[in-house]
Structure 1
């Protein structure tokens, strides 16, 4: 396995010339667990059908208390794994909607065809959930290569079901799609395509071939963690890929980074600056250095207690080119 030579990559905060700092927290991104009906080869969470880790009733209740206690929270962003498969999904949806928060569900679309989950499209529409769905390409071969045979056709069918319910047409039923580039197979690296142009290509192809509509396309860089990291290490591409991302650092992305105004919470109740730090086990800490947990956050009665955001070499992935976040391009 290739290890990262600390001398080969410039520390992120040395490049930015100052620490990354938090702004007012308005977003909670909650990873409900690692259970998923798919095992995609680019998954940074390393989720799959054999994983059993998920939210506990105790942590779920603490999350509901957090949502109810802090009016400054505007968005509750539910992810996984397949968030819908993990304990606490519906209680969190209903608590957040009752508290008048925007609720995002990050869906793989194929979950709608699994036993006991067939009612999800109607449930999403009833609760006016914003869906951000993975469709890493508009071509069948590319999607199935990344996510598994038959995933493309199921995804198309799922979007058609959502369209029939009003998603993509009704302003209260927002459906966004996510593009992921293929994992690099050699040192011919590239940044994600222009988001606006690619969105037009997606919309044209999906309408012409399937009469599908959606709201926005988000282009997301493959961050070298999880299964992507393992693959790159095995191919001796990990350090070269990080160097490529570092060489395309764009300071204009810093203001819009998702870690600036969000907290990422795992199924155990630990707090992180972002989902990527969560997967790399880089927890957020108090100024004293104490590890931050959901229980601690509730006892302090303050969401805005993190001074500096923890950074790592993979932060160059979010700041390369036009930038990348859970909401797509930053610039």
Structure 2
């Protein structure tokens, strides 16, 4: 066990962290993935078999139909496209006029049985948020596996051909993750707007690729990133580094404030990181929540206080970090 001289996150705030109105339903469909990236906080991979069940899928479709306040359905994984329920959830959300985000690793389009995905995305006007931790091949392949960069480039060109990054209703966003640290010379993600400009210039010049936005996401010490940091004996010092860059201005914009994160078993969490660390959301009476309980209560507003942990410093360091990039 670590003896960590870290201020408990709750003590950093002078008030409880509470939910706002829920507008985002983020669903982790399972851990199946065609890649096994070194920084993956979900610990997804080709050998994982956990995925959504038909029963939970049906409950989620009911949630999507029943609650008009949900504006965004955010589908993640693993590779969300590989897991049960992907297309039924997409179609239920689009039928209810909700924006659908698919968090795509891009390489899935070249796996047998998934080559229809880019056209399917365009047909349903899905917003594609794609992992692209660097615009240099060597860095991407180091983090995500040999050949991933080339496949990602081909996938982005394919999406561009269909109008992604060009047409108003076909949004293509990329996600930058810093390299994992090798020493205590830690750094936060570069300034998002400047890095986005660099990405755009490089990808356009070398590959003719265009996209909408770049999101910079901090590596949170969760999942494989946590294991890596522990192996390198950097876990405690990385947490201290994140705490030392705490920015109170990020609190109002944290993704946990207006979203529910659902796992493949139908359990409810405040965010994807809490989900991976098995820190469930709690109702006023202290009981853990499930999709079934939300339906029985006919309400999405059962959570009194957001569950927080030391890794929350990752979302509140510097410019902040969320599934939608920098916060301030």
**Does TM, normalized by the shorter one, top 0.5?**
yes
Q: Deviations over 1:90-147 (max 9, x none)?
A: 0000000001100000000000000000010000000000000000000000000000
Q: Residue 115 of structure 2 aligns with which residue? A: 118
For 1:91 and 1:29, the matched residues in 2 are separated by 15
User: How well do the aligned residues superpose, as a CA RMSD in angstroms?
Assistant: 0.5
For 1:5 and 1:97, the matched residues in 2 are separated by 48
Alignment of 1:266-305 (within 5 A): 266-305=263-302
1:92 aligns with 2:92: no
Structure 2 length normalisation: TM-score?
Answer: 0.99
For 1:215 and 1:258, the matched residues in 2 are separated by 20
For 2:182 and 2:236, the matched residues in 1 are separated by 14
Q: Residue 4 of structure 1 aligns with which residue? A: 2
Q: Residue 146 of structure 1 aligns with which residue? A: 143
1:191 aligns with 2:155: no
Gaps (5+ residues) in structure 2? none
1:61 aligns with 2:58: yes
Q: SS of the counterpart of 2:215?
A: strand
Q: Deviations over 1:222-249 (max 9, x none)?
A: 0000000001011110000000000000
1:236 aligns with 2:233: yes
1:181 aligns with 2:165: no
Find 1:163's aligned residue among 160, 165, 185: 160
For 1:308 and 1:4, the matched residues in 2 are separated by 26
Q: SS of the counterpart of 1:157?
A: helix
Q: Deviations over 1:282-310 (max 9, x none)?
A: 00011111110111110000101111000
For 1:4 and 1:111, the matched residues in 2 are separated by 38
Q: Residue 218 of structure 1 aligns with which residue? A: 215
For 1:303 and 1:185, the matched residues in 2 are separated by 42
Q: Residue 34 of structure 2 aligns with which residue? A: 37
For 1:266 and 1:27, the matched residues in 2 are separated by 14
Q: Residue 127 of structure 1 aligns with which residue? A: 124
For 1:9 and 1:213, the matched residues in 2 are separated by 42
Alignment of 1:200-211 (within 5 A): 200-211=197-208
Structure 1 length normalisation: TM-score?
Answer: 0.99
For 1:58 and 1:293, the matched residues in 2 are separated by 13
Q: Residue 261 of structure 1 aligns with which residue? A: 258
For 2:14 and 2:6, the matched residues in 1 are separated by 15
Gaps (5+ residues) in structure 1? none
